[in-house]
């Protein structure tokens, strides 16, 4: 019988034991969270490889590739070593533990599972979060908010869900609106917040529709308007005046709207 911690293989005909689960990981490192509700806290980051979207403003394009090694910091901010992918759960848990147990105690607030799109590896994440419990660090999932069926596999195992709401005007192709709506419905029962990347192409009308949809699920969820970091030509944030107008527009629907850029970028951190 399938359980939440066992991977379905071949339509429930067989299951993968936890020790058989593997995933490609781009890097394991310690840094300051630069986005959303936990911005400013130091975290241990596990950045998974692979992504099901192709956002024009992606700031981690190398992590979208499934091939390549895992670069793991030996100590926070220190040397890195390379490991061959894929890694199993125990290997990744050990890389996290090595950083998390660095003195002084309390250096890290939490663990971030990010990407790429970490929910491409949902069974792995469910088992990893379970194996990380002895560290007593909350586990935050950072996701593009497009894989509700995979989110179900980690609900109750991760402590925070940070999901994106992708606006069509910021994407090369529109995302699946039904998957996005279902994701919001599922995430509302966990500690969660929503990030909306805004560019100079976003209009008040588009943002209003988005915020009305979010509010129909949870009017009090913290929503972060994140001015895009101009990572490529043609990717521009809204002007200061337009940003204020967008925030005012969002605040008509939602009780907790904040504006925050990518703080780690300002600090020169990854």
- Among 58, 155, 181, 269, interactor with ligand SF4 by CB under 6 A: 58
Q: What are phi and psi of 269, to 5 degrees?
A: -100, 160
- Among 117, 123, 150, 218, interactor with ligand SF4 by CB under 6 A: 117
Binding window for ligand SF4 (CB under 6 A); candidates: 11-19, 75-83, 112-120, 198-206: 112-120
User: Taking CB under 6 A as the rule, does residue 216 contact ligand SF4?
Assistant: no
- Among 116, 138, 148, 222, interactor with ligand SF4 by CB under 6 A: 116
The helix (run of H) or strand (run of E) holding residue 31 is: strand 25-32
- Among 51, 125, 223, 250, interactor with ligand SF4 by CB under 6 A: 51
Q: Which two tokens stand for residue 103?
A: 């003195």
Q: How far is the CB of 181 from ligand SF4 (least distance, A)?
A: 17
Q: Exposed, middle or buried: residue 79 (CB in 10 Å: 0-12, 13-18, 19+)?
A: exposed
Q: What are phi and psi of 175, to 5 degrees?
A: -85, 170
Q: How far is the CB of 260 from ligand SF4 (least distance, A)?
A: 16
Nearest-angstrom CA–CA distance, 65 and 157: 27
User: Taking CB under 6 A as the rule, does residue 53 contact ligand SF4?
Assistant: yes
Binding window for ligand SF4 (CB under 6 A); candidates: 8-16, 19-27, 54-62, 86-94: 54-62
- What helix, strand, coil percent values describe the chain, rounded to 5? 35, 25, 45
- Among 7, 25, 55, 96, interactor with ligand SF4 by CB under 6 A: 55
**If you search the block for the tokens 């780690």, which residue do you land on?**
264
Residue 220: CB partners within 8 Å, gap ≥ 6?
Answer: 254, 255, 256
User: Taking CB under 6 A as the rule, does residue 150 contact ligand SF4?
Assistant: no
Q: What are phi and psi of 196, to 5 degrees?
A: -120, 110
- Among 18, 36, 115, 261, interactor with ligand SF4 by CB under 6 A: 115
Binding site for ligand SF4 (CB under 6 A): 51, 53-55, 58, 60, 64, 115-117, 144
């Amino acid at each position: 019988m399938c359980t939440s911690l066992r991977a379905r293989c071949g339509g429930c005909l067989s299951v993968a034991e936890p020790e058989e689960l593997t995933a490609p990981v781009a890097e394991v490192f310690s840094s300051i969270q630069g986005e959303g509700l936990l911005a400013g806290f130091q975290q241990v980051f596990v950045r998974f490889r692979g992504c099901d979207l192709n956002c024009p403003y992606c700031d981690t394009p190398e992590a979208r590739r499934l091939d390549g090694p895992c670069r793991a910091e030996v100590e926070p901010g220190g040397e890195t070593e390379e490991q061959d992918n894929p890694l199993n759960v125990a290997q990744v848990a050990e890389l996290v533990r090595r950083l998390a147990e660095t003195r002084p105690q309390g250096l890290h607030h939490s663990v971030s599972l990010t990407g790429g799109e970490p929910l491409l590896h949902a069974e792995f994440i469910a088992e990893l979060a379970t194996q990380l419990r002895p560290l007593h660090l909350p586990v935050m999932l950072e996701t593009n908010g497009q894989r509700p069926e995979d989110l179900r596999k980690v609900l109750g195992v991760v402590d925070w869900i940070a999901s994106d709401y992708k606006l069509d005007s910021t994407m090369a192709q529109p995302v699946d609106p039904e998957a996005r709506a279902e994701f919001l419905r599922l995430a509302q029962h966990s500690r969660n917040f929503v990030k909306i990347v805004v560019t100079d192409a976003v209009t008040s009308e588009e943002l209003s529709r988005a915020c009305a949809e979010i509010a129909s699920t949870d009017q009090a969820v913290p929503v972060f308007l994140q001015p895009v970091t101009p990572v490529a030509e043609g990717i521009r944030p809204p002007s200061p005046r337009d940003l204020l107008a967008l925030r005012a527009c969002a605040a008509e629907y939602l009780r907790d709207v904040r504006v925050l850029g990518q703080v780690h970028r300002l600090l020169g951190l990854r």
